Structure formats: structure tokens, C-alpha cells
Structure 1
Amino acid sequence: MAFDADDEILQDFLVEAGEILEKLSEQLVDLERHPDDSDLLNAIFRGFHTVKGGAGFLQLDALVNCCHSAENVFDILRNHKRKVDSDLMDVVLETLDHVNAMFEQVRNHEELTPAPDALIAALDAFAQPEGDAGQQPADLRQDSPDDCGDITDDEFEQLLDALHDGGDAAQGQPAGSGESAKASAGGAGDDDITDDEFEALLDQLHGKGQFAGAPAAGEPAADASPDEQASSGKGDDLITDDEFEKLLDELHGKGGGPTATDSGKVPGSGPSSGAAPKAPAAKAAAPARETAPAAETTVRVDTKRLDDIMNMVGELVLVRNRLQRLGAASEDEHMHKAVSNLDVVTTDLQAAVMQTRMQPIKKVFGRFPRVVRDLARSLKKEVNLVMHGEETDLDKNLVEALSDPLVHLVRNSVDHGIEAPDVREKAGKPRQGTVTLSAEQEGDHILLSIDDDGAGMDPEVLRRKAVEKGIYEQDVADRLTESECFNLIFSAGFSTKEQISDVSGRGVGMDVVKTKIGQLNGQINIVSELGKGSRIIIKVPLTLAIMPTLMIMLGDQSFALPLVNVVEIFHLDLTKTNIVDGRECIVVRDKVFPLFHIKRWLVKNAAREDEPDNAHVVIVAMGTKQVGFVVDQLVGQEEVVIKPLGRALQGTPGMAGATITGDGRIALIIDVPSLLQHYS
């Protein structure tokens, strides 16, 4: 492997090929639904071809061979010599998996693991025409309007043969004649074509001297026209787009160049009759080449640098909070104005830096068509995936963190939700089920939903399973609301599957999903209707770096409650509480909330006899469950920067991190789900 090549070139390859491979996964699944889409076939062909070209430049032979075999398959498909079917797609998708694996090895500077020989052989078999219908003459294939890909290796070998086969092409014989086929099959073309040879080839097509550059003495060539002198007399030996397109037309036929548009017309090419470009056009092209190239509008920045900048902005937010607190205590008007201006600038800077860290959630959504396709095929189900809001932006760290939970939820919808085609038909539904994945921004949060039109969930079955597994006693299970029953699926070890398979049935996973969403300061909720389908709704903050919180006091210590968990706040007479199932509760608007004195959990030496008769109660929510926290004092809302706990405090139950408050104190950030799970 040529990892000793210029690192900048390698990085360019990783960026470009990475984007192409992400797109290929979606395109291949889309192709199975639209097998006759010529644009899609050409796009996939170009994708494999581009990755192969970059890999060849870096001498990544295993990756080149795999992409070349895949490229050959799509060359056959786009020339209508074979039809797309599920068996072919299975092989191509497996090939893409190996290409992705090798790409990761390139990224990690590891030795490449070639694709299995059996897989390459299967690809090569699919690269052969299917039946006699595909055996069309080469000239017809070249003239086909669908063939808008790049020049092939064989065609480039023909160009070389025109130069090396003893001058046949110089006498006017077509470049594809003679021994070119034999040279292509025999591996000719190991030697690079020289500049002089390429100029000679252009001379054969366009006439002597047109691309020869300025003569040594500075005088125009004797056989050049005035217009040709104008275009070449300054020593500019660059070939124009028009001239290169004409060269490709000699090989492919009209409309076959690599930049052909959907309609088959090549931008910037000559007239459709195939005539050479007129001299004035060549003359007009010269000034365009002399103009300075446009300035770069983008800069590639390492993500660590973005994280560092975000940390510094976080520190600035803390300083702003401190100055706001000091400014409020001052009567100096100029001080108030300066702090107010600082607040505006800091807020704008914070938003701008956050925007640089944003990525479209399409980065996550892009993998789901393949996940659904493979799982539906293994389960013998028919499932259509619909996606909305793919361009919704959120913090790059969240994009990465949401990937695994969403994959699990989508797989769960296909496996548990969507019924088998025959079962759906008997229920009066279409044989094909639908899973809908949606994303939208709501204020400073992102709403994600996974919908399916499957069987839905039966609350009675869930209650029975909860009792069987010892999660609840029968009388408690009977009092569960439907919403609480649906949320039972997030309990560890809970599963309604009678049969354990390699997909599901062990009750492992959904509890991990809920824990992961909780770690992101998010919420997850389920709505379901028996026979109609289910919807899972996830709400997560736009960013993990800066969090709006409600600052509270327990004794003389400060704590921060994530605002996303806070539902409402009220003052309460603690002498008017009730006891239900041995737990202290309060009734608010005919709703019963369990009540927790978190000061007893979090503050050392907190004595019950010191507790007042009146206190503030903060109602917090985790999914559909709501409880009341008794607090001593409400300080107010404040944006905080989350700092990780020190090594000695890491893993402290109920704590998500720490921050510095506006008055300079250190406050612990409460992790509500973890707090309740550990103490209640």
C-alpha cells in the first residue's frame, strides 16, 4: 500500500471516497426498487469507478480489484445486457460491505484484507451478458444515450494501440482496429503514455499543430490557421473542454462523454452533427483559461479543533454568567450596558460555533435502507422504508451517539411490528408494511419518530408478561395505564417474543436504548394501537456541550436540573401529602405524583427534623413517568457548560457532571433517570 504517499492526497481520497460509499448504500437499495432507472445505474457505476481510480492512485490493489469487478457488473446493467434481481443485489451489497471494510483499513493505515475469491467470481459471473438479447454490436453500445460514463480501460488501451501499432492510426485507420482487442486482453498498456504521444494522438484527430503549443522560435506553425495561431500562439497547451469532448466522441459516439447530462447532451460540446468546434469558440476559450482560479470557499478543519473552540466558548459563557450576576448587583449604567453587549455577542458566538459542529441527521438515516432491506429479506417480509427530515441538523456528537439506538429501534419495528405478508393480507392490509423515520427541530431540541403500520402492542399481553417476569405484582400490573404498559418494553430482560432468534427475543437491547437516550439528556415515549401500528418518539437536545438548566439549592449546596426534564414548579404544604403503596405522594389536578425529598439522598447529614413544613416542588418527567422533587430554594434558569466529574467522583449515582454557576460556586448536574433508579 502506498501510505507513504502525500498525506494530503490520502486525506482527500478518504473524504471523497467516504462520501461516495455512504451514498452507494442508499443508491443500491433504491436500485432494487427501481431496477430500470438509468440515471441510478450510471451514478452507481461512476461511484465504484471513482473509488477505484482513487484507490489505484494510492496502489490499493485489493480495493481496486473489488471495485473493478463491481464496476463491470454495472457497465453490463447500464447497457441493458442484464436485469437487476435480488440475487445480484445480494452479491453487490456484500461487495460494498467488503469495500467499506477495506476503506476503514485504509483510514486506520492497516493492511487490506482482499474480498473473498468466491465473491469476486460471483461478480464476474454477473458481469457477463444475460442471453442473446444483450449481444449488441460495439458501435451500437457506444452510441447508446444511456452510456454516459467515463472512458473504459479497454478504450484507453485502444488509444495506446493507435500509437504503438506501427502507425496504422496515422494513416487514417480507426483507433479501435488492428490488434487493440488482443492488446487489451493481454494486459497491454503497462507503459505510461508520454506527452509527445498524446500530442501526436490529438494531431491525428484535429490536424497537425493545433495542440502543439508555441513553436520554439516564437512563430506560428506554417500550416496553422490565424484562429489556431490565436488559440495556441501564447504557448498554452491545455486542451479545452470542447476539444476533449470531441476526442471522447471519436471513441463513444455522440453524447457518450463522462459529463453527459440526463438528456444525453454534453455541456460545452460541439454541435450535434459532430463537427469540430469553430475557431471563434476556441479563441474565446483562451481568456477564460488565463483568468485566476476562483478562491476556495471551504476549509477543512479537524473536529478536535472545533471541540476545543466549543470548550472555550463554554468558558466564555461561564464568565458571562458571572458578569451578569455582578452587573445585577451594580448600579453603574455603563457596566449594565457593557454586560448586555457581552451577552449578545456571546450568544451569537455560541450559536455560530454550534453551527460549525452541526451535521445533517442524514449521516445516521443513510444506513437504514440497507438495514431494513437485509432484515426484511432474512425474515421473508415485505417492508418499505420512508424517511422525512433527513436534512435536519444536530450536533455531530449526537449524530454518532444516536446511531446505534436508532438502528435497534428500526430493527425492532421490522421484526416485532411488521407482520408477515400473508398475515397482513388476512387482516385487510397491503402485503408490504411501511416503516417511517422522521426528524424535525422543535426549539432547541430534535424530535425523532419511528412509525410502523404493523400489529401494534396489546397492553394486556404486556401486563401478563410483567407479572410472569416478576417485574410487578398482579394488583400493581392491573393498575398500569396503557402508556405505562408500553414502556415496559424498556425493562431489562423484557421481551414478548415466544421464539428466540438471532434478531430478537432475549430482551436485550431496548433497556440499553433507553439508557443511551437518557445519557443524552433525552426522552423516549411510545404510542401504540393494537392492529394499527406503533410510534416511538425520541426527544434530544440539539447539542450536548451547553445545557439550559434550573438551578436549585439543597441546604447550602447548588444543583442543576436539566430543563428538558422539568414540567412544572409549585409551592407545597408538606403536611398535606398522602401515602400510596407505602410511598409519599401528592395530588395535583386529580393526578397523583410520587414525592421524593432528594436532599436526603444528596446532602450529607440532612436531618428530617430540620425540614420545613412548606417547600418548593419541581415536577420532573422521564418519558411518561412524572415525579415530584422537594427542593429548598429555586435560584432560576441558567445555561451551564457540562464539565466531566473528576476521577474520584466518576460513576457517582445520579450525577451527569458539574458546572460553575454565575456566582462562582460549583454545582453538580443531576441525572434524573440515574438518580431515581439508584435511590428510589
Structure 2
Amino acid sequence: MDTDQYLEVFLDESREHLQAVNDNILKLEKQPQDLNLVNDIFRSAHTLKGMAATMGYEDIASLTHKMENVLDLIRNHKLTVSTDIIDIIFQAIEYLEAMVSSISEGNDGKKDVTGLVQRLDQIEKGEPVNPIVQIDNVNESNFIHSNELDLDEFQITIVDQAKEQGFFPYQITVELTDDCILKGARAYMVFESLEGRGEIIRTNPSVEEIEEGNFAQSFSMVFLSKVAADSIKEIIGKVSEVKNVEIVNLVTISNSDKQQETSVDFENTVSAVKEETAATAEAESKPVTSSTTASKTIRVNLEKIDDLLNLFEEVVIDRSRLEVIAENLDNHDLTDTVEHLSRVSTDMQSLILAMRMVPIEQVFNRFPRMIRGLARDLNKQINLEIIGAETELDRTVIDEIGDPLVHLIRNSVDHGIELPEARKQAGKPEEGNLILRAFHSGNHVFIEIEDDGAGINRKKVKAKAIENGVISASEADLLDDNQVARLILSSGFSTADKVSDISGRGVGLDVVKNKIESLGGQISIESKVGKGSIFSIQLPLTLSIIATLLVKVKKETYAIPLSSIIETVILEKDQIMYAHGNKVMDFRGKVIPLVSMAKVFEIPANEVVEEQEYSVVIVKKGEKLTGLIVDSFIGQKEVVLKSLGNYLKDVFAISGATILGDGEVALIIDPNALVK
């Protein structure tokens, strides 16, 4: 059976089921008596098992089958939900996510799940779960202790049997250079260099964390191979940005004498487990009733939508030209036809853009499980609140924003929120709050990470900035709290007293800043000592076609996105007020600042005319309002947003340009930059 044609469907549906399991497991931990949650998790695992077995991904089928057995015991009141069970199921989800990700990258999706399957099997039989057994190394001094490896009994058995079959068991520790930024990519290249030369049976940290770059500068693995150690060292050493490679031959393993009764053929162990579980999977056929209604959808490659959008941009430009021609010719039939074309094309445009937009919850959904794990590791109590998960963002931005958010959240959990004892002494609740918020503002999406932790220590940051030569002492005295907080985004900046494997406030934040700016976004920080911090990320929607209000300023035409505009007003001269020497106006009982676009963009005027009335566009950014003073309003127009290119990418308050129907180029305003 040729399954290639179903691969994309399998990957998409697998991700959906894994996310459903992930979400429901978190709920189950808080509501262990809710059998509806157990049933939902069971159905997702059952469906995933069936799909994987059909597609021939036996490791996935094997692991989900064992998960299914444990869940079946829970829903039949034969097993009680415990933290240990939740932990093992979470580990199984991580394995499954890694295998699905591997398949999506064109690999076979194979992974050694035997140890985890054994643990689930022990839970199913009511036996105590296998303890973690420490390697007893004859040359322990050669180890980098931050990367010590633990093997369970099954892995130790495999090492012993592999040695009998002529394999050398090595512990390999790879250290990358200090200036290596793409650590995950380098680690992946190390794994690739070892492909076909042996088997990796254990890594520290996990393979997923290593490939995501979530480690310091070194990582370790237990590698079984018939290749000599010197050759392996030479192979790994050829990968760029590898600073050092340490290889230790594992001669003895503690408790190995207990394993002699178990006969294991190293090369056939995994396949034997696969055959057994695949046979069980075929025999399993419980009827299930889905609680959700299937939607009628088709899956379309994103590149096809991109191509369609590019073609439609040309239609929009030609539509604008036709509108100008129809107006000049004053032909009734032509005008009616163009108006109908405009209405139809507007609807088409909305549909095309909607196809590219996806809810940001696809990114947010990974964080509850991550924060749960971090809180347990750090002995902290943390309540996560997610607001605005339904906020939609362009798919290309969604794919890129995940890693920066992971870094910022880990940073807040590790160094922002205090330990329960410290919070209690400061008069705070022992449970810290972390808020993840997303909302639209104009042609942008804002993502905020807010914690009620210790905040950023102004004195400490200033002292470190002066020590590192980022600013001078005289400059530091002129900075307000938020400007001081932004210093932690400087390259190589850190105030951490000790390096943490979870994060270090400031460590790598310059990389986060660079990543966000590469997406056309910005990051800002607000912090109050003892109260907490807010990291705010502003991202463009990256929509190619936007609705705007065209305005005239002197001889220039500008386009202001309609999504940022509250309303337009005409102000008489005597309605203009002043506060601290700046123009302000009364807008519905609220005093808001006024900004002259002619002054902002330094537009020259042929003659100075004393205005008797002002045309003002009221724009918003979140809760903040500002009035933009222009000369006149031209009207609404849908325009194609074009980039200004690399040479003009940093022009203040300009997000792009467009070509109007008469051939004139109009600059598109970024109102968020002008809101005071």
C-alpha cells in the first residue's frame, strides 16, 4: 500500500491529536476524577495508534498502544491518576511529538521507545516503575558533570549485550564554542555525522532539547559503535563550531550483574518489541464515539496560497487603475462594471487573507506543559493565564515566533517569579502569576509576557552595563526605569550570579531581540522592582493587502491603515489646547496628544499658511490614543503593501509603500510608532 499520498494528512491530524492529549492531560491533573477528560485522551491516543499502524510507523503505534492501556485502566476505575502517571504520559507525548516531527522532516520517525513502553507496562501491571540506575564509570574524572547520564535497567542491559556482540559503549561529551548561536543546528549536525556508525541510546539533555538549543555549551550521549574512539572524535571534530570532544569507554556498569539473566540481542531488541505491539494493535478494535463533529475541510499547501495572493496583488493594482479610468471616462456601464468588480474582488481578498491567518493558540498551546515542568524543577508555584489565544496572525510569523517566546517565558519563570518563601516574605501570594496575552492593534499583533515577580534590578543592571562598557556612568543616570530594563537586550549582557540551565536573565535576550526584529517586529520592556515585568512584542500581520485611509500632507499622499483608526475629526483653531508646550485635544472627555505629520516627516511647504481648522485622524495602540494632523482626507482605498527594501527598512513610522491607480507612490504609515 502506497501511503505517501496520505502523509500530509497523517502529520496534520497527528499534531492535532497530540495537542488535544496535551491540553486534556493538563486538565486531568487538576481534575483527576473527570472521566470525560480520560475518554477524550483515550480517543485521541486510539486514533493516533490506528493511523500510525496503518502508515507503518510502528514505534508510534507501540507507544500509543501502551498509553491507551493505562488510560483504559483509569477510565474503568482500576487505576488512580497520580503525578507519576501524568509525568510518564507527558514524557510519552514528548517522544511522540519528536517522532512526528522527524517524519515531517523526511525521516523514518523511528525512536527507541522500549524503555518508556516498559515503564507504561509496569504501570499497567501495577508494578513499581523501574528506578533510574546511575552509570558507574571507571574514569569518572573525565566526565563533564553538568551532563552526567542516567540509564534505566533496560538500557543498561542493551549496553551489556552490545559489548558482547563487539560494540564499544562510549560516553561522548561535545562542547561547542562560546560564540556558537545556532547550537541546535550544530548539535543536529553532530548527530547526522554519527548516522550509520552506531546507535545513540541516551542523551543529556534529551534529543528534543538539544536540537532546540536548550542546553549550555555542551551535551552528552551514550553511543554504541564498532568504530574506534579516535575515528569518532575526528568525525565529530569536523563539524564547525565544535570546541572539544571527550570520549570515555564505559567499561563497567553498576547493577549489571542483575541483568545477566536477561538475554537481549541488541540489534533486534527494538524490532521485536515493534512486532509484538503491532500485532496487538491489529487485534484492538474497540468502537469509539467522537464527541466532536468532523468539519468538511481540505488541506492546501501554503505555497499555493502564497502564489494566489501574489497574483491577487496584481488584480488589486489593476482594479485601482480601472477605477481611475472609469472616473475619467464617465461611462455609466464601465463604472457599474468596475464597482461590481471591486465588490467581488474585496470578498475574494478577504477569503485569501483569512486562509493565511491562524490563531496564535497554536504557539501558546505548548506553554502550559512547559511551565508545569519548569515550576516543578524550580520548586515554584506558578499560575499561567492565557488571554487572546484566538488572536490571528500570518502563518509565516506563527512558524517563527515560537522560539523567542519560549526563551522569554523560561526567563520569567526562572528569574522573574520568586520562590514561594521569598514571595511570602515580600507579602505576596506564594503562587506567582504569569500572563500570556495577545491582541490586535492596527496592522500589528502585540504579544505580552507579564509576571508579578521581582522585576529587574535597576542598580544591578546599571552597574553591569557600565562594567561591560555598554553605557557610561553619566549616561546611566539619565535613563528611566524602562530604558534601563532595555539594557538587558544588549549583546552578551547578563546580571545572573550563576549560570542556569533553564535561563539567565539577559543571556541570549539579544538573540531574541534580533529574531523579533528580523520578523519586522520590536520588543519593549516595562519593569518595576518588586512588582514584576512586562515583555511586549510588536509583530506585523504581514498582510500584503490592507484597507487604508488616504490623506494629503502638503504635496505628499500617505496611507493610514483603517484598522488603527478610531475616527476622523475637523478641529477649529480655538479647539487646540496645550499641555507642557505640546498640542493636545479633547476627544470625548479625554485629553489626547496631537502629532503633526508634516513636522514628523519634515515635509517642506512652499508658503506658511495660518490654519483656521485642522483635519485630524484619531489612531489607537492598545488603550492609547493620538491625533494625527493632516491637511485633508482623500478617502478609503485598499492598497498592496510593498516593502521599502533593505536600504530603507528602518525609516521611522513607515511600514511600506504602495502604487496608487494613477501611478503615484504613497507611503504607508505605521501609526503605532506615532502614538504617544
Shorter-chain-normalised TM-score: which range?
Answer: 0.5 to 0.7
User: Is contact 1:417-1:534 (8 Å) kept?
Assistant: yes
Question: Which residues of 2 match residues 404-553 of structure 1 at below 5 A?
Answer: 404-442=403-441, 444-505=443-504, 507-547=506-546
Question: Which residues of 2 match residues 137-536 of structure 1 at below 5 A?
Answer: 258-259=288-289, 297-326=296-325, 338-442=337-441, 444-505=443-504, 507-536=506-535
CA shift in 2, pair 1:643/1:653, >3 Å: closer
CA shift in 2, pair 1:359/1:599, >3 Å: closer
One-letter amino acid of the structure 2 residue matched with residue 258 of structure 1: V
Partner residue of 1:29?
Answer: 26
- CA deviations on 1:594-616 (whole Å, 9 max, x unpaired) are x999999xxxxxxx9x998979x
CA shift in 2, pair 1:189/1:303, >3 Å: closer
CA shift in 2, pair 1:620/1:546, >3 Å: same
TM-score scaled to structure 2, two decimals? 0.60
Question: 1:378 aligns to what SS in structure 2?
Answer: helix
Task: Please give the alpha-carbon distance, in whole angstroms, between the structure 2 residues aligned to 1:68 and 1:109.
Answer: 24
User: Is contact 2:394-2:543 (8 Å) kept?
Assistant: yes
Task: Please give the alpha-carbon distance, in whole angstroms, between the structure 2 residues aligned to 1:483 and 1:516.
Answer: 21
Deviation at 1:551, TM superposition (A): 8.5
Question: 1:536 aligns to what SS in structure 2?
Answer: strand
User: Is contact 1:66-1:115 (8 Å) kept?
Assistant: no
Deviation at 1:21, TM superposition (A): 0.9
Task: Please give the alpha-carbon distance, in whole angstroms, between the structure 1 residues aligned to 2:45 and 2:342.
Answer: 51
Deviation at 1:65, TM superposition (A): 1.4
Question: Which residues of 2 match residues 36-75 of structure 1 at below 5 A?
Answer: 36-75=33-72
One-letter amino acid of the structure 1 residue matched with residue 374 of structure 2: L
- CA deviations on 1:209-252 (whole Å, 9 max, x unpaired) are xxxxxxxxxxxxxxxxxxxxxxxxxxxxxxxxxxxxxxx9xxxx
CA shift in 2, pair 1:260/1:493, >3 Å: closer
Q: Does 1:106 align with 2:103?
A: yes
CA shift in 2, pair 1:353/1:565, >3 Å: closer
User: Is contact 1:73-1:127 (8 Å) kept?
Assistant: yes
The CA RMSD over aligned residues, in Å, is 5.2
CA shift in 2, pair 1:296/1:486, >3 Å: closer
Task: Please give the alpha-carbon distance, in whole angstroms, between the structure 1 residues aligned to 2:485 and 2:549.
Answer: 30
Taking only the aligned residue pairs, the percentage that are identical comes to 38
User: Is contact 2:385-2:433 (8 Å) kept?
Assistant: yes
- CA deviations on 1:340-390 (whole Å, 9 max, x unpaired) are 444433333222222222222221111111221222223222212122332
Q: Does 1:654 align with 2:650?
A: yes
CA shift in 2, pair 1:506/1:120, >3 Å: same
CA shift in 2, pair 1:509/1:318, >3 Å: farther
Report the more deviating stretch, 331-340 or 61-70: 331-340
CA shift in 2, pair 1:39/1:519, >3 Å: same
CA shift in 2, pair 1:330/1:53, >3 Å: same
CA shift in 2, pair 1:638/1:71, >3 Å: same
Task: Please give the alpha-carbon distance, in whole angstroms, between the structure 2 residues aligned to 1:537 and 1:191.
Answer: 50
CA shift in 2, pair 1:637/1:91, >3 Å: same
- CA deviations on 1:527-558 (whole Å, 9 max, x unpaired) are 33332222333444444323567989999999
One-letter amino acid of the structure 2 residue matched with residue 313 of structure 1: F
One-letter amino acid of the structure 1 residue matched with residue 650 of structure 2: G
CA shift in 2, pair 1:442/1:474, >3 Å: same
Task: Please give the alpha-carbon distance, in whole angstroms, between the structure 2 residues aligned to 1:549 and 1:468.
Answer: 48
CA shift in 2, pair 1:558/1:490, >3 Å: farther
User: Is contact 1:524-1:623 (8 Å) kept?
Assistant: no
Deviation at 1:116, TM superposition (A): 4.2
Task: Please give the alpha-carbon distance, in whole angstroms, between the structure 2 residues aligned to 1:643 and 1:189.
Answer: 53
User: Is contact 1:558-1:668 (8 Å) kept?
Assistant: yes
Question: 2:450 aligns to what SS in structure 1?
Answer: strand
Deviation at 1:418, TM superposition (A): 0.9
Task: Please give the alpha-carbon distance, in whole angstroms, between the structure 1 residues aligned to 2:618 and 2:542.
Answer: 24
Task: Please give the alpha-carbon distance, in whole angstroms, between the structure 2 residues aligned to 1:349 and 1:486.
Answer: 45
Deviation at 1:428, TM superposition (A): 2.3
- CA deviations on 1:470-504 (whole Å, 9 max, x unpaired) are 33333332222333333333333333322222232
Task: Please give the alpha-carbon distance, in whole angstroms, between the structure 2 residues aligned to 1:357 and 1:343.
Answer: 21
CA shift in 2, pair 1:416/1:613, >3 Å: farther
Deviation at 1:338, TM superposition (A): 4.8
Question: 2:533 aligns to what SS in structure 1?
Answer: strand
- CA deviations on 1:43-89 (whole Å, 9 max, x unpaired) are 22222222111111222222211212222232333344444344433
Deviation at 1:405, TM superposition (A): 2.7
One-letter amino acid of the structure 2 residue matched with residue 488 of structure 1: L
User: Is contact 1:32-1:89 (8 Å) kept?
Assistant: yes
Task: Please give the alpha-carbon distance, in whole angstroms, between the structure 2 residues aligned to 1:566 and 1:444.
Answer: 10
One-letter amino acid of the structure 2 residue matched with residue 654 of structure 1: D
User: Is contact 1:521-1:564 (8 Å) kept?
Assistant: no
Task: Please give the alpha-carbon distance, in whole angstroms, between the structure 2 residues aligned to 1:295 and 1:623.
Answer: 37
Q: Quick check: which one's strand share is greater?
A: 2
Task: Please give the alpha-carbon distance, in whole angstroms, between the structure 1 residues aligned to 2:22 and 2:294.
Answer: 33
Deviation at 1:13, TM superposition (A): 2.7
Task: Please give the alpha-carbon distance, in whole angstroms, between the structure 1 residues aligned to 2:280 and 2:481.
Answer: 74
Task: Please give the alpha-carbon distance, in whole angstroms, between the structure 1 residues aligned to 2:553 and 2:93.
Answer: 56
Which consecutive residues of structure 1, in runs of 5 or more, have no partner in the other structure?
132-185, 199-247, 249-255, 263-293, 569-585, 601-607, 675-680
Deviation at 1:318, TM superposition (A): 1.8
Partner residue of 2:241?
Answer: none
One-letter amino acid of the structure 2 residue matched with residue 90 of structure 1: D
Report the more deviating stretch, 655-664 or 66-75: 655-664
CA shift in 2, pair 1:598/1:451, >3 Å: closer
CA shift in 2, pair 1:541/1:326, >3 Å: farther
CA shift in 2, pair 1:112/1:15, >3 Å: closer
Task: Please give the alpha-carbon distance, in whole angstroms, between the structure 2 residues aligned to 1:191 and 1:87.
Answer: 25
Task: Please give the alpha-carbon distance, in whole angstroms, between the structure 1 residues aligned to 2:279 and 2:536.
Answer: 58
Which residue of the other structure, out of 117, 127, 132, is the alignment partner of 1:120? 117
User: Is contact 2:441-2:564 (8 Å) kept?
Assistant: no
Task: Please give the alpha-carbon distance, in whole angstroms, between the structure 2 residues aligned to 1:472 and 1:338.
Answer: 63
CA shift in 2, pair 1:621/1:464, >3 Å: farther
Question: 2:506 aligns to what SS in structure 1?
Answer: coil
User: Is contact 1:561-1:670 (8 Å) kept?
Assistant: yes
Question: Which residues of 2 match residues 543-582 of structure 1 at below 5 A?
Answer: 543-547=542-546
Task: Please give the alpha-carbon distance, in whole angstroms, between the structure 2 residues aligned to 1:105 and 1:456.
Answer: 39
One-letter amino acid of the structure 1 residue matched with residue 503 of structure 2: S
Report the more deviating stretch, 635-644 or 456-465: 635-644
Task: Please give the alpha-carbon distance, in whole angstroms, between the structure 2 residues aligned to 1:306 and 1:554.
Answer: 36
Task: Please give the alpha-carbon distance, in whole angstroms, between the structure 1 residues aligned to 2:325 and 2:525.
Answer: 45
- CA deviations on 1:93-137 (whole Å, 9 max, x unpaired) are 222122112212333442232234333222222222269xxxxxx
Deviation at 1:7, TM superposition (A): 3.8
Question: 2:125 aligns to what SS in structure 1?
Answer: coil
User: Is contact 1:81-1:130 (8 Å) kept?
Assistant: no
TM-score scaled to structure 1, two decimals? 0.60
Deviation at 1:671, TM superposition (A): 9.8
User: Is contact 2:442-2:565 (8 Å) kept?
Assistant: no
Partner residue of 1:161?
Answer: none
User: How many residues were matched structurally?
Assistant: 503
One-letter amino acid of the structure 2 residue matched with residue 425 of structure 1: K
Task: Please give the alpha-carbon distance, in whole angstroms, between the structure 2 residues aligned to 1:108 and 1:651.
Answer: 35
